[in-house]
């Protein structure tokens, strides 16, 4: 009933929230467009999962833990619920019956309780954010920078996970990046960041961040980790800066003694955009279990021609492998369809969620 009016709904919701409870306004960034979009997608996700309690609880747990970095407390939830239900009632009109109101009230209460409980359990185990100093940065061309940070306190994570980052230039604006390394003894993490036109955080990290600057990290998230694999043979597929978590997973295989055979495919539109291939070739020289192939879709290069899905089909089948995919969403979707068509079971294909990860976790 309200879907055609979603743009107005999210604007109205935040307007009455800030009018009735002005003390929460400082928790949000000055520009609210991205925040309104996230609220909408979170609501749609909750509705999608309402008949799948296990997935709904897992999703709301992720939301609750991730909201700690914004300073969200249990006392904020009744205010949000009050304004959300008032917004839905306003835009649903006659469709907002007593039964519908009761159902949404009950649903919001359940969601809020799961988020609060998850946040409280998380608070007993670790901080909400980790300050981290930039200790090294390298420009890699094509608007990409490698930025290495050292958290001020221990930052536990697993290879393949992603991290939300806040810069000092854009407070309260968080963006997600995958660590490009397995855990190191010195505790540092390296991120591969591509400057996106109009992307305030990415452009600040690529063009403004310098050694000595202090960023803030949110908690590590994501299930695209080596322990998700059930079998010995692995297929890694990376496009663009999607190489970052794949590189971390290769390091993790090496750290565990190289007990897996790994086939790695790197893809790009042109040869010049084959990001990080020299680094990965050096790793293949050190590790006999790592085989690397490249694919270039928009330029003729002998031996490299074709999109990643086409090259995967050529060298397959891969139905005896656990598959890890990372890169632009269209590439991941196309590669996943190709692999499934050739017999790879869906539960053996692992990839990060798209867009805002915490709002789209499978």
pLDDT digits (tens, 9 = 90+) for 3-31: 788 888 889 999 999 999 999 999 888 88
Please check the confidence at residue 355 and state whether its pLDDT lies above 70. no
Tokens 């998230």 -> residue: 221
**Cα 237 to Cα 97, 253, 264, 324, distances in angstroms:** 50, 15, 6, 6
**Cα 283 to Cα 191, 251, 261, 292, distances in angstroms:** 18, 9, 14, 10
226-359 has the same fold as 3-123: no
Is the backbone peptide bond immediately before 33 cis, with ω within 30 degrees of 0? no
The confidence band for 40, taking pLDDT boundaries of 50, 70 and 90, is: confident
- What is the C-alpha to C-alpha distance for residues 197 and 308, in angstroms, rounded to an integer? 25
CA angle 251/324/192 to nearest 5° reads 55
In this predicted structure, what is the pLDDT of residue 14?
Answer: 93
In this predicted structure, what is the pLDDT of residue 77?
Answer: 94
- What is the C-alpha to C-alpha distance for residues 107 and 88, in angstroms, rounded to an integer? 13
Please check the confidence at residue 303 and state whether its pLDDT lies above 70. no
Q: What dotted CATH number matches 226-359?
A: 3.40.50.80
> Between 2.60.40.10, 3.40.50.1370, 2.40.30.10, 1.10.290.10, what CATH number should domain 130-217 receive?
2.40.30.10
* Global confidence as pTM: 0.85
In this predicted structure, what is the pLDDT of residue 361?
Answer: 46
Which has more confidence, 136 or 308?
Answer: 136
Query: What residues contact 102, with CB distance under 8 A and at least 6 apart?
Result: none
Domain-by-domain residue ranges, the chain? 3-123, 130-217, 226-359
> Between 3.40.50.11690, 3.90.180.10, 1.10.630.10, 1.10.490.10, what CATH number should domain 3-123 receive?
1.10.490.10
| pLDDT tens string 141-162 | 778 899 999 999 999 999 999 9
| pLDDT tens string 153-196 | 999 999 999 999 999 999 988 999 999 999 999 999 999 998 88
CA atoms within 13 A on the CB side of 221: 30
Nearest partner of 251 among 331, 321, 189, judged by Cα: 189
In this predicted structure, what is the pLDDT of residue 289?
Answer: 93
Classified as helix, coil or strand, 146 is strand
Please check the confidence at residue 362 and state whether its pLDDT lies above 50. no
**Contact in structure between 179 and 245 (CB atoms under 8 Å):** yes
In this predicted structure, what is the pLDDT of residue 259?
Answer: 74
Nearest partner of 225 among 310, 326, 355, 138, judged by Cα: 326
Token reading at 266: 């790197």
**Cα 153 to Cα 58, 130, 187, 210, distances in angstroms:** 27, 7, 9, 20
**Bridge-partner residues for 292, per DSSP?**
264
Nearest partner of 159 among 230, 260, 228, judged by Cα: 228
Query: What residues contact 121, with CB distance under 8 A and at least 6 apart?
Result: none
């Amino acid at each position: 009933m309200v879907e055609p009016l979603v743009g107005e709904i999210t604007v109205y919701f935040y307007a009455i929230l800030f009018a009735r409870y002005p003390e929460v306004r400082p928790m949000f960034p000055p520009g609210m467009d991205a925040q309104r979009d996230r609220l909408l997608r979170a609501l749609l996700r909750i509705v999608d999962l309402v008949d799948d309690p296990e997935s709904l609880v897992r999703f709301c747990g992720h939301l609750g833990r991730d909201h700690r970095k914004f300073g969200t407390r249990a006392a904020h939830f009744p205010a949000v619920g009050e304004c959300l239900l008032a917004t839905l009632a306003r835009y649903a009109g006659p469709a907002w019956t007593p039964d519908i109101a009761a159902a949404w009230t009950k649903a919001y209460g359940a969601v809020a309780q799961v988020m609060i409980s998850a946040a409280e359990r998380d608070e007993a185990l670790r901080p909400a954010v980790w300050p981290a100093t930039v200790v090294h940065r390298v420009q890699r061309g094509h608007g990409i920078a490698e930025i290495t940070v050292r958290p001020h306190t221990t930052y536990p994570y697993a290879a393949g996970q992603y991290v939300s980052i806040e810069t000092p230039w854009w407070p309260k604006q968080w963006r997600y990046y995958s660590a490009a390394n397995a855990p190191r003894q010195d505790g540092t993490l390296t991120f591969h960041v591509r400057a996106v036109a109009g992307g305030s955080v990415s452009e600040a990290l690529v063009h403004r961040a310098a050694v000595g600057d202090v960023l803030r990290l949110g908690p590590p998230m994501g299930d695209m980790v080596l322990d998700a694999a059930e079998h010995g043979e692995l297929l890694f597929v990376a496009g663009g800066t999607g190489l970052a978590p794949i590189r971390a997973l290769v390091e993790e295989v090496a750290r565990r003694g190289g007990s897996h055979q790994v086939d790695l495919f790197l893809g790009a539109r042109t040869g010049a955009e084959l990001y990080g291939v020299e680094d990965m070739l050096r790793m293949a020289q050190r590790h006999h279990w790592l085989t690397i192939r490249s694919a270039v879709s928009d330029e003729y290069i002998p031996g490299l021609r074709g999109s990643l899905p086409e090259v995967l089909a050529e060298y397959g089948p891969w139905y005896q492998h656990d598959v890890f995919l990372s890169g632009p969403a269209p590439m991941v979707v196309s590669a996943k369809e190709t692999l499934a068509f050739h017999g790879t079971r869906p539960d053996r294909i692992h990839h990060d969620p798209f867009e805002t990860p915490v709002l789209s976790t499978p």
